Amino acid sequence: MLKRLPVFFRSTLYAFRGGFLIRPLLIVLALGTAGAVLSAFEEQFPAIRWFVPQALFPSQADPQVAQAILTSIATSTMTVVSIVFAILLMTLTLASTQFSPRILISFVRDHVTQWTLGIFLGTFSYCIAALPAARSLPTPFAPVVTVVGAMALAPVCVAWLIYFIHHISIAISVNHILDRISRETELVIGELMPYPRRPAHWDKAFGASLEDLKHVIASRQSGYIRFVDIPRLRALAKSYGACVALERRVGQFVPEGVALLRVSRGDRITDVRALELLAAFDIGPTRTMQQDIECGIVQIVDIALRAISPAVNDPTTAISAVDQLSSILIRWVSRAPPESYFYDPPHVLRVIVHWIDFEGVLDLAFEQIRHYSVADAAVSLRLMRALGDIASTTSDPAIRTRLLERGKRLIDGCAGRLQEFDMARLRRRLSRLESGSREQDGREGPAPTNSRSSSL
């Protein structure tokens, strides 16, 4: 268990950073502690109550008034908390059925929702913690300053509830959901691919024979690879005098008993050392965006596929998804691919980590949408535009060739399914993709008045 502490700590920190527990809990503890400490301090130094205006709290000597105020605020806030939970559950249900169940994690990680629950539960804990100080026996005491603090928290809760309802109404809009997923994915790309793409990127293994990786280490649990502690793997491989290669990418599912690692010098890998190597992996039942760029792309593709399904038939949502996917791919092509070969010392290969390449990302982002939208002119036109936008941001001939191949595949799939006018627009956009010029709207000739794709 101790060997897994670094990975466990990082995974827990990632969960707490956006999870539904830590932020409301901290707010509740802070306000509850403030209520208890302030009431105790006021009882120790009762003179501070004279700073409170008499008009604000006229019955400063009546503890029953203080009890009534604290009790009323506590019960009211708990009633509102139930309303907040009802709104949240309704939002989650709507988002799950309308878009995709995989986007629920975005709502759970929403900071406004966490602050809302924290403020209301914190106000409740503040009142409950201060309530014992308001007593009639043996000596009557009314915590005036503490009660004024509760009275100040009450309008804050009301204002925050109004803001929460406004925020939820915006958060369930599909454009907001897609934009949030896209920004999170681009942040992951920035972390894994921090350097700009060079004209000639070279990332080949040297200093070791890859044919020596014959010893297999199987996974001891089933789940998705969510995080790999590469520095720890490199340090362990150096101490063992071996080379370690991952059999699965981050984000892929690995069943228990299936090969997860291949290691050279198998005679040096004991069961204890194998467990130490496996401890560098965080494997769980769901995918996360710690190191998984594909996770965000899959969520956006899910939304697009559900939108163009015959049951929903919402091409506008699919078009918005394609726009966000093109933004992610533009960010990808502007960065150097993530490093796959790690050495320690230099020229001594220690760790090999496989990442998805651009062709894999391109297929993941557009291939399913292309397949299911061959009869939808609006989505197909936007796909062709997205390919042209990506091509216009890079001068890499290999990337431009792959984009052109996808454009030709899109034309072939739509042949015989779209009207000739729409096919002509697709061919004109393909020609711009071939020539490398950026598309300009309004230069493809007049569109018919009833064409759904006239503005695409």
> What tens digit of pLDDT does each residue of 60-94 get?
567 888 888 899 999 999 988 888 888 778 777 77
Tell me the backbone φ, ψ of residue 258, rounded to 5 degrees.
Answer: -95, 145
The 10 Å Cβ neighbour count of residue 162 is 9
**Superfamily in which the 210-284 domain is placed by CATH:** Pyrimidine nucleoside phosphorylase-like, C-terminal domain (3.90.1170.30)
Q: For the chain, which residues make up each domain, given as ranges?
A: 2-172, 210-284, 293-435
> What are the strands of the beta sheet with 253-254, ordered from one edge?
253-254, 223-228, 281-284
Closest CA to 66 of 21, 131, 120, 162: 131
Q: Report whether pLDDT(305) > 80.
A: yes
Q: Report whether pLDDT(110) > 90.
A: no
> 422-443: per-residue pLDDT in tens?
999 999 999 988 886 554 444 4
> 262-291: per-residue pLDDT in tens?
998 888 888 888 989 998 998 988 888 888
Q: Report whether pLDDT(242) > 70.
A: yes
| Mean pLDDT score across all residues of the chain | 83
CA 282 remoteness from chain centre: 17
CA dihedral 164, 168, 170, 171 (to 10 degrees): 120
> 349-402: per-residue pLDDT in tens?
899 998 999 999 999 999 999 999 998 999 999 999 999 999 999 888 889 999
Query: What is the per-residue pLDDT for 208?
Result: 52
Give the integer Cα–Cα distance in Å for 90 and 106.
15
CA 102 remoteness from chain centre: 10
Give me the mean pLDDT over the 318-326 stretch.
94
pLDDT band at 139 (very low <50, low <70, confident <90, very high): confident
Residue corresponding to tokens 């306000």: 31
For residue 227, give every residue at least 6 positions away whose Cβ sits within 8 Å of its Cβ, in sequence order, or none. 7, 10, 11, 14, 250, 281, 282, 288, 290, 291
Q: Report whether pLDDT(239) > 60.
A: yes
Give the integer Cα–Cα distance in Å for 42 and 47.
8
Query: What is the per-residue pLDDT for 360?
Result: 92
Q: Report whether pLDDT(446) > 50.
A: no
Closest CA to 305 of 315, 290, 292: 315
Give the lowest-confidence range in 120-124, 140-144, 245-249: 140-144
- In DSSP terms, 50 is beta-bridged to none
Give the integer Cα–Cα distance in Å for 100 and 120.
30
Q: Report whether pLDDT(409) > 50.
A: yes
> 21-64: per-residue pLDDT in tens?
788 888 999 999 999 999 888 888 877 766 666 555 656 567 88
Give the integer Cα–Cα distance in Å for 231 and 257.
25
The 10 Å Cβ neighbour count of residue 425 is 23
